[in-house]
Structure 1
Amino acid sequence: MKRLIIMFIMLCLSFGTLAAQNVDLKELLDQVKQGGVKDAKDNADRLNYFKQNREQQARLLAEIKALRSEQENLSKQYEQLFEEQDAQIILMEDDLNLKLGGLKELFGVLQQSAGDARVQFENSITQKQFPQRAAFMADLAGKMGDTNRFATLSEIEDFWFEIQREIIETGKVINFKTMVVGADGIESEQTVTRLGAFNALSNGKYLEFKPETGRLLVLPRQPESRFVSRAEDFQAISSGMGSVAIDPTRGGLLSKLVEKPNLMEQVAQGKTVGYVIIGLGIIGLLVALYRFIVLMGISAKVNAQIKNLNNPGDNPLGRILNVYKVRGGDDLEAMEIRIGEAILNETPKLNKWLPFIKIISAVAPLLGLLGTVTGMINTFQALTLFGTGDPKMMAGGISTALITTVLGLVVAIPMLFLHSIVASKAKAVTEVLQQQAAGMIAEIAERK
């Protein structure tokens, strides 16, 4: 059927071509007949080929079946051999366990001890000097847990030796050269001073050992200067004894220094409110110092004027003396009022800016409380959104919120002292003026 369809399509195409080229229909029909005869001949040849090779195909099929049968028999033999050898292995393992006796428990203890020692060695600073021992401990632990191989007596002795060496090295101060990663991330060879298994120093700086990478790194943030100076002095000692600070947690405390904020970072945690408080504190301090200096100068002029009452100068007491000289002929009551008025005119000048200092001492704690309340609100909003899964987040937020309270108190307390000092100085000058004024009035009263 398919062949007829193809022939029909070819005829249609041929007719289209003939229409274009004016070819004879009889010639076209002859061509089609020749093509059909050729196809029939090809089909017959193909069929004869298959018939001739039928015996060969049957022979190949028989060979394959025989091979399959042979492989099945071989598989049964291997299965039987496996079962026999598996049973033999079980008997040999039972015999081995029986012969091992107490040694099996010993091997278990050695395996656990080797594993624990490997972990301890990898986390110790001494690993930089003896890097091969961790691999030895891992291999020993593998042998102790494997029934196919056993550790030799020499390896067990080496295990004891490594543990003993670690104990001895933890009590030594050793200098050795190794690669150190600086704070800038560049690795270079340096002379390292190892303080037992506690700390490592290089160029007067404390180092941190990273077990994950097996590298020594310079701490990004060093301890206080007094500890760093001791480290420098200790490294400079060639013999004898010296003092140096060590970390008893073997690097735990030093690593926390990176996370601990310094003074400037703590101040920055106060944000806008904190900066406002600090700004007010600076302004209040400058105003207090300025007023104290001014009052000191006025007090000096007043004291000098007391020694020379006959020549009034440009100072509070001098101006009061001028009033006394000008109004000396008035009656006692009028003179008392004039001198009192002069003292009242001088008092505001002496107490200038003192209320401002007092206001700063009162406003600073209130601003600190405002910052704390705002920070606590933000902290609890974060807890509402993200929950309390991380206590550090809550503690950090509260700590940041309390920074403003600390800043407020740090500003308020000195401001109170400064206000008290400046106010007492102004009051002392005012009392001197009042004393001198009382003397003037008494002199007028005697004269009258």
Structure 2
Amino acid sequence: MNAFKSLAAAFTAGLLLASPAQAETPASLAELLKSVKANSIVESQESKDREAAFRADRNQQAALLKQAKAELKAETERGDQLKASFDNNDKQLTELTETLRQRSGTLGEMFGVVRQYAGEFKGLFAASQNAVQFPERDTLLTKLAESKELPSTQELEAFWHTILQQVVVSGDTTTTAATVVYGEGKEAVRDVTLVGEFNAIADGKYVTYVPQTGKFEELSRQPNNNIMRNVPGFEQAGNSYEPLFIDPSRGVILSLLVQSPTVQERVDQGGIVGYVILGMGALGAVIALFCFLRLAIIGSKMRKQAKSEQVLKGNPLGEIMAAYLGHNSDNLEDLEAKLDEVILRNAPRIERFVGSIKLFASVAPLLGLLGTVMGMIGTFQAITLFGTGDPKLMAGGISEALVTTMLGLVVAIPLLFFYTLVHSKSRRLVQTLEEQSAGFIARYQEKLHADNADK
């Protein structure tokens, strides 16, 4: 009996745990049995519902599994097809690549040459003054020179046309609008006449092209008038032909030419000694001209006197004739003394200032040597202070040394010619006086012999 009660209590406890919604505890075994039966019916119905739901879910899972297997099979077949297509395409790509390699052959080398020459021509065309006419060709050359892809046929033809275009304009004269930079830094758009690849002219002056800025710059100093005189006519020539000096080195010789010093700058390099030499040369030339004119006047008067039987005043030959006619004694020695006295009196006047020309001609080279010594002293001082690393430091002293020597020779050589000319002319006049004096003495001596013979 106790065992049965214990079992009943345990069953009741289990029932209470299984049905927590049961709030009341059965009062007797009959109620307990009734409650158990009721719960059994509920649990049986719940089990059936769960079984039915499980079966439905199992059927759904089977359908999904079947669908997944079908999709897997389809994807597997599609993967096999794609793999076969990939293998086929890879085989065709390999064959086409080999065919391309075989067919391109020398074309690959040709494209490499195109890239190389495109880079070279880009630099040449950029430095050309005709670049202002065709700014668009730089884009094409840059693309051909830097591209890693093979150029197209159109690009190759454009490259060919660009080269032919450059060849044509290199031998042609054209006028185009371009920016010109003047010495003050001002800029203006002017019509620039391009003479091929050689020179450019704007507003009647030579200009040079600067590739870095793409503009033209006026020369710091224009060439001499012998070169510039043809520029205006050439600019206005139109379709006719006009002469023009061009620089075949594309402006290099022209830039060096305008940098060469002028005559005034050369003289300035000579310093004070150079100006002294030139002053002496000018003074010597004036004296030589004065002496030449004075001797020409004296010679003209003496020629007139030689043609006249009467005494004309104002010339040495007239004084000799007057001394001859005024001699009344029979003493020949007195006549000779008078005539010698006239010659000795007029000779210094005829040769006046002639010796100073020779003096200037002799002193000028000496002053040149003095300037040379002074210039070399300055050069050696520069070497002592700064060394021989910079030749420009020594250029001033050397220039002064050489310029003074040059100026001394330039002054001395013409003065020597002037001295020779004037001295020879004065000697001829003195010789003429001596000849005429000897003639008068001989005539007077004949006269004396004739008088003695009559007696």
Structure 1 length normalisation: TM-score? 0.70
Query: Who wins on radius of gyration, i.e. which is larger?
Result: 2
Helix, strand or coil at the partner of 2:194: strand
* Counterpart Cα distance in 2 of 1:296 and 1:183: 54
Q: Deviations over 1:392-435 (max 9, x none)?
A: 66567544421222211111111111111111111111112112
Amino acid aligned to 1:335: L
> 1:75 matched to which residue of 2?
none
- Within a 5 Å distance, the mapping from 1:286-365 to structure 2 comes to 286-329=286-329, 331-365=331-365
> 1:386 matched to which residue of 2?
386
Check if 1:203 corresponds to 2:207.
Answer: no
Amino acid aligned to 1:294: R
Structure 1 residues 244, 393: CA separation in 2 closer, same or farther (over 3 Å shift)? farther
Q: Which runs of 5+ in 2 are unaligned?
A: 1-93, 449-455
Check if 1:118 corresponds to 2:116.
Answer: no
* Counterpart Cα distance in 1 of 2:146 and 2:292: 80
> 1:194 matched to which residue of 2?
194
Helix, strand or coil at the partner of 2:206: strand
* Counterpart Cα distance in 1 of 2:432 and 2:279: 35
> 2:232 matched to which residue of 1?
232
Q: Any conservation in 1 of the 2:270–2:399 contact (CA below 8 Å)?
A: no
Structure 1 residues 107, 394: CA separation in 2 closer, same or farther (over 3 Å shift)? farther
* Counterpart Cα distance in 2 of 1:326 and 1:434: 18
Amino acid aligned to 1:129: Q
Structure 1 residues 123, 323: CA separation in 2 closer, same or farther (over 3 Å shift)? same
* Counterpart Cα distance in 2 of 1:197 and 1:396: 37
> 1:81 matched to which residue of 2?
none
> 1:420 matched to which residue of 2?
420
> 1:131 matched to which residue of 2?
135
Q: Deviations over 1:156-202 (max 9, x none)?
A: 44333323322222122112222223455433232222111111122
Q: Any conservation in 1 of the 2:223–2:258 contact (CA below 8 Å)?
A: no
Check if 1:245 corresponds to 2:245.
Answer: yes
- Within a 5 Å distance, the mapping from 1:255-266 to structure 2 comes to 255-266=255-266
Is the deviation greater in 226-235 or in 248-257?
Answer: 226-235
Q: Deviations over 1:283-306 (max 9, x none)?
A: 000000001111111111111222
Check if 1:166 corresponds to 2:166.
Answer: yes
Q: Which runs of 5+ in 1 are unaligned?
A: 1-94
Q: Deviations over 1:9-46 (max 9, x none)?
A: xxxxxxxxxxxxxxxxxxxxxxxxxxxxxxxxxxxxxx
* Counterpart Cα distance in 2 of 1:301 and 1:218: 61
* Counterpart Cα distance in 2 of 1:306 and 1:364: 40
Structure 2 length normalisation: TM-score? 0.69
Structure 1 residues 367, 191: CA separation in 2 closer, same or farther (over 3 Å shift)? same
> 2:64 matched to which residue of 1?
none
> 2:254 matched to which residue of 1?
254
Is the deviation greater in 266-275 or in 178-187?
Answer: 178-187
> 2:147 matched to which residue of 1?
143
Helix, strand or coil at the partner of 2:189: strand
Is the deviation greater in 395-404 or in 158-167?
Answer: 395-404
Residue 439 of structure 1, CA deviation: 2.0
- Within a 5 Å distance, the mapping from 1:85-104 to structure 2 comes to none
Residue 117 of structure 1, CA deviation: 2.0
Structure 1 residues 397, 162: CA separation in 2 closer, same or farther (over 3 Å shift)? farther
> 1:58 matched to which residue of 2?
none
Structure 1 residues 162, 184: CA separation in 2 closer, same or farther (over 3 Å shift)? same
- Within a 5 Å distance, the mapping from 1:273-284 to structure 2 comes to 273-284=273-284
Helix, strand or coil at the partner of 2:229: helix
Q: Any conservation in 2 of the 1:111–1:142 contact (CA below 8 Å)?
A: yes
Structure 1 residues 385, 281: CA separation in 2 closer, same or farther (over 3 Å shift)? same
Helix, strand or coil at the partner of 1:249: coil
> 2:217 matched to which residue of 1?
217
* Counterpart Cα distance in 2 of 1:229 and 1:261: 20
Structure 1 residues 378, 133: CA separation in 2 closer, same or farther (over 3 Å shift)? farther
Residue 108 of structure 1, CA deviation: 4.9
* Counterpart Cα distance in 2 of 1:212 and 1:390: 29
- Within a 5 Å distance, the mapping from 1:428-443 to structure 2 comes to 428-443=428-443
Residue 361 of structure 1, CA deviation: 1.1
* Counterpart Cα distance in 2 of 1:321 and 1:193: 77
* Counterpart Cα distance in 1 of 2:161 and 2:308: 95
- The count of residues paired between Structure 1 and Structure 2 equals 349
> 2:402 matched to which residue of 1?
402
Structure 1 residues 385, 211: CA separation in 2 closer, same or farther (over 3 Å shift)? farther
Q: Any conservation in 2 of the 1:309–1:321 contact (CA below 8 Å)?
A: no
Residue 375 of structure 1, CA deviation: 2.0
Amino acid aligned to 2:228: V
Helix, strand or coil at the partner of 1:180: strand
Q: Any conservation in 1 of the 2:111–2:150 contact (CA below 8 Å)?
A: no
Structure 1 residues 163, 225: CA separation in 2 closer, same or farther (over 3 Å shift)? same
Q: Any conservation in 2 of the 1:281–1:411 contact (CA below 8 Å)?
A: yes
Structure 1 residues 106, 312: CA separation in 2 closer, same or farther (over 3 Å shift)? closer
Helix, strand or coil at the partner of 2:258: coil
Amino acid aligned to 2:120: D
Is the deviation greater in 425-434 or in 319-328?
Answer: 319-328
Check if 1:285 corresponds to 2:285.
Answer: yes
Structure 1 residues 206, 325: CA separation in 2 closer, same or farther (over 3 Å shift)? same
Structure 1 residues 422, 382: CA separation in 2 closer, same or farther (over 3 Å shift)? same
* Counterpart Cα distance in 1 of 2:407 and 2:386: 29
Is the deviation greater in 284-293 or in 262-271?
Answer: 262-271
Q: Deviations over 1:124-180 (max 9, x none)?
A: 101111233334433443334xxxx77555444433332332222212211222222
Residue 268 of structure 1, CA deviation: 1.3
* Counterpart Cα distance in 1 of 2:328 and 2:184: 82
Q: Any conservation in 1 of the 2:180–2:217 contact (CA below 8 Å)?
A: yes
Structure 1 residues 366, 395: CA separation in 2 closer, same or farther (over 3 Å shift)? same
Residue 278 of structure 1, CA deviation: 0.6
Is the deviation greater in 306-315 or in 280-289?
Answer: 306-315
* Counterpart Cα distance in 2 of 1:380 and 1:116: 48
